[in-house]
Every structure is written in structure tokens, then in C-alpha cells.
Amino acid sequence: MFKEISAKDIKDNLIKAIADEWMLISAGDESAHNMMTASWGFVGEMWGKDCVTVAIRPQRYTLEFVDKSDYFALSFYGDDKAIHKVCGSESGKNVDKTAKTGLTPVFNDGTVYFNEARMVIICKKLYSDFLRPENFMSCDEKQKWYPNADFHKMITAEIVKVLIKE
């Protein structure tokens, strides 16, 4: 059972949760949805709102769902990486990741998230754009992370709901 809390009442160190625990980014509805593992992102205040920014490469199937939707979800599952092994290495174009992971989808708040999560952050998109190669201050990051010039799309969204497992 989930309980709703304020974004400012999240007890987790979200930098640690995103970087070490990882998260799923999910979007879509009952007719079609997808999710992907992500370990990059930001949380803070923007435009007077509690916000997140996520990074999605253009070739990721999940980006199609995020682009089509007003909302997406971030969900966290603790230290068990089994879900992430599937959602971070297989494409939803080729495999039913929901079936393969055994996750139970919940369609609510304009998006999809999964009942097995320990925490879910529902996000409403506010702004998105691709990283631009000419805007890197150093070539180090560009060369290390983008040898194929597949620059992430950065999506900033308002946190509209936080759900934690009771």
C-alpha cells in the first residue's frame, strides 16, 4: 500500500538513490507503456516548483512514451538490481519488460508505475531539450560519454506526487 507524502518530506538521499540504487523511468497507459533503468538525474527547485530532470538517450524506446505523455514516473526498488538488469539492457521494442520482470503495472495519475516499487515520484513535464555538443565547456565529458554523438534529451518535470510504501 502506498502513502502519499510531500516531495520535501522525502527522507532518502536522492543523489545516492539515483546513482547507486538506480530508478525506472516509465510512461504510457493501459494500451502501451515502457520503462527503462536510469542512474542519471537531478532533483531540486526550478521555477518555484519541486522538480526533477532526467536524461534519456534518443535511441531509448522509453523516450517515445515520455515524449507522447504529459506525465512520467520515477520508481525505486532498493538494492535488488534484477529489475534493472532487464530494464537497462533489453528494449521494450523486442521484449515485454513488464512480463519479464514480473512487475505489476499501476495506471494512475496520467502514467504507469509499478506496485513493487518502494517509492514512486510522479512527474509532469515542463521543459525538454537535447544536450548540444557546442555547449560543453570541456571536451572530456563529450568525448567520454558521447563518442557516438547520441546526446541525452534532458526533461525537466514538476514533482506532482510522491508515493512511498507503508
The predicted structure's pLDDT at residue 57: 97
Q: Look-up: residue for cell 538513490?
A: 17
Q: Which three cell numbers stand for residue 27?
A: 510512461
d(C-alpha 163, C-alpha 127), whole Å: 23
The H or E element that residue 83 is part of is helix 82-87
Triad 114, 119, 124: Cα angle to 5°:
80
56 by Cβ neighbours in 10 Å (0-12 / 13-18 / 19+) ranks as: buried
The domain locations on the chain are: 2-165
Q: Which three cell numbers stand for residue 1?
A: 500500500
d(C-alpha 157, C-alpha 109), whole Å: 14
In one-letter notation, the amino acid at residue 46 is M
Residue ranges, the chain, pLDDT below 70: none
Global pTM value: 0.96
Question: Spelled out in words, what is the top-level CATH class assigned to the domain 2-165?
Answer: mainly beta
Q: How many CB atoms lie within 10 A of CB 19?
A: 13
Percent of the chain clearing pLDDT 70 (strictly above): 100
